[in-house]
Amino acid sequence: MTTSSPAPARTRVAIIGAGPAGLLLGHLLGRHGIDAVILESRDRAYVEQRQRAGILEQGTVDVLRAAGAAERMDREGLRHDGIELRFDGRSHRIDLPALTGGRSVMVYAQTEVVKDLIALRSEAGAPLLFEAEVLAVEGADTTAPRVRYRHQGREHTLACDIVAACDGFHGIGRRSLPAAHVFERTYPFSWLGVLADVPPSCDELIYAHHPRGFALHSMRSSTVSRLYLQVDPEDGLDTWSDARIWDELATRFALDGWELTPGPITDRSITPMRSFVSEPMRHGRLFLAGDAAHIVPPTGAKGLNLAAADVTLLAAALLRWYRTGDETGLDAYSDEALERVWRAEYFSSLMTSMLHTDPTADPFAQRLQLAQLRHTVDSAAASTSLAENYAGLPLPCIDELT
């Protein structure tokens, strides 16, 4: 149950953050009898309405199905077997199953994944405390860590075996590591993202490169479109009227015989583009997962999927440890997770540089960018590499959690 009562004084795993990473980790552990308490600083309404990713790669879909958390996703989600690259007035389809041995992606919003996992936790009667502000992680380098938090005006201490920080870039988890190596890159553009109450004008996602900037046509359902425009980082929302947004989208998506259908815009935001990795992802009994450890530009659709991969790996390692005392999975967690993280960082950076218009690029660099796009769609090897990374790498530890 989601509860307003104080959490137990002791649990095996204390999870900070009720985003998809924290909720999925709690669910995976709970299915195998490993109790966990989830602490979330925001209220439930905020968590369930927070707009983020909407593309689930094959491994994430497989994990949700194996965990019994995919019933609504399989009913309402939209399976996609390809993506479209659009540039130079032409369209090029990347056939994901044909190039990856059958893998595909699922369009299913992060908000819906979160709602499903919260509902499952509530049905299980497992503790999930909203508006619980974590104040400190103590004793991470001991065998008895503790989490201090404030809930309903009172401070509490939660003793545990393990702390899993799934609390995002600004959370206390990453700040609790005594020493970390930070790698980051900021891109010279941002994304203006909008939700619109209009059926998608495409059957599969369109990634468009245009001299005026990148554009992406995605969707949340058969009746709701999700669209993005590359914009200047200094732009404010007040400079982008509905009419200007639709006109610019139509310009960047322009293709003979194809038409973009506008509709009422219900939500809009501007997001900076950056890459970030913090190493290591573990200190003693404190483990980081998801945005607490890494951020990718959204061009590669990897953020939510990396978080799911992190906690799947961590859940399998914890299960082995609790069952047999074998700590090898826990000891290897950071290195194994980071190997996948850097692969995703590479792919996301590649997609970002290939598709966006660099305002500082000279004509030579612009021609090189077009040459890279043409090579990607003309070369079977290059198309296969894109498809394999987009559909996602397999998760070998799923079988341990079924």
Q: Is 345 domain-assigned?
A: yes
- Asked if 161 and 201 sit in the same domain, the reply is no
Nearby residues of 33 by Cβ (< 8 Å), 6 or more positions away:
none
Residue 126: give its domain's CATH number: 3.50.50.60
Catalytic residue, candidates 209, 217, 302, 356: 302
The encoded tokens of residue 366 equal: 């612009």
167 and 235 in a common domain:
no
Are residue 144 and residue 21 in the same domain, yes or no? Answer: yes
108, 149, 207, 333: the active-site residue: 207
305 and 202 in a common domain: no
Choice between 51 and 205, residue whose per-residue pLDDT is larger:
205
Same domain, 265 and 124: no
Domain match, 192 and 266 both: yes
> Quick check: is 390 catalytic?
yes
Domain membership of residue 133 (yes or no) is yes
Q: Which among 328, 343, 358 is the end of a domain?
A: 358
pLDDT in tens, 85-102: 999 999 999 999 999 999
Residue-wise pLDDT for 322-375, tens only, equals 999 999 999 999 999 999 999 999 999 999 999 999 988 999 999 999 999 999
| Percentage, residues of the chain above pLDDT 70 | 98
Give CA–CA dist 38/60, Å, rounded: 21
Q: Which residue has the higher pLDDT, 277 or 360?
A: 277
Which of 273, 297, 316 corresponds to the end of one domain? 273
CATH of residue 260's domain is: 3.30.9.10
The answer, yes or no, to whether residue 53 has pLDDT greater than 80, is no
Cα–Cα distance between 141 and 129 in angstroms, integer? 25
Q: Is residue 4 part of a domain?
A: no
Number of domains in the chain: 2
CA torsion angle 305 310 315 316 (round to 10)? 100
Beta bridge mates, 235: none
Same domain? For 119 and 45 the reply is yes
At 142, list the tokens: 């001991």
Confidence label for 179 from pLDDT (cuts 50, 70 and 90): confident
DSSP string covering 230-277? EE-TT--GGG--HHHHHHHHHHHH-BTTB-PPP--EEEEEEEEEEEEE
Domain presence at residue 390: no
Assess if residue 204 is contained within a domain: yes
In a domain, 101, yes or no: no
Whether 96 is covered by a domain: the verdict is no
Residues 172 and 232 in one domain: no
Q: Show the domain range for 326.
A: 13-54+109-180+280-358
The conformation of residue 211, written as its DSSP 8-state character, comes to T
Model pLDDT for residues 239-252, shown as the tens digit of each residue: 999 999 999 999 99
In a domain, 307, yes or no: yes
Question: Do 263 and 206 fall into the same domain?
Answer: yes
**The model's pTM:** 0.94
Same-domain check for residues 286 and 324: yes
Q: Are residues 164 and 231 in the same domain?
A: no
Which of 232, 247, 273 finishes a domain?
273
Answer whether residue 162 shows pLDDT above 70.
yes
**Residue 131 backbone zone (phi > 0: left; psi -120 to 50: alpha; other: beta):** left
Taking a C-beta distance cutoff of 8 angstroms, is the pair 267, 195 a contact?
A: yes
- Is 151 one of the annotated active-site residues of the chain? no
Question: Does 136 lie in the same domain as 46?
Answer: yes
Catalytic residue from among 80, 209, 210, 217? 80
Assess whether 363 carries a catalytic annotation. Answer: no
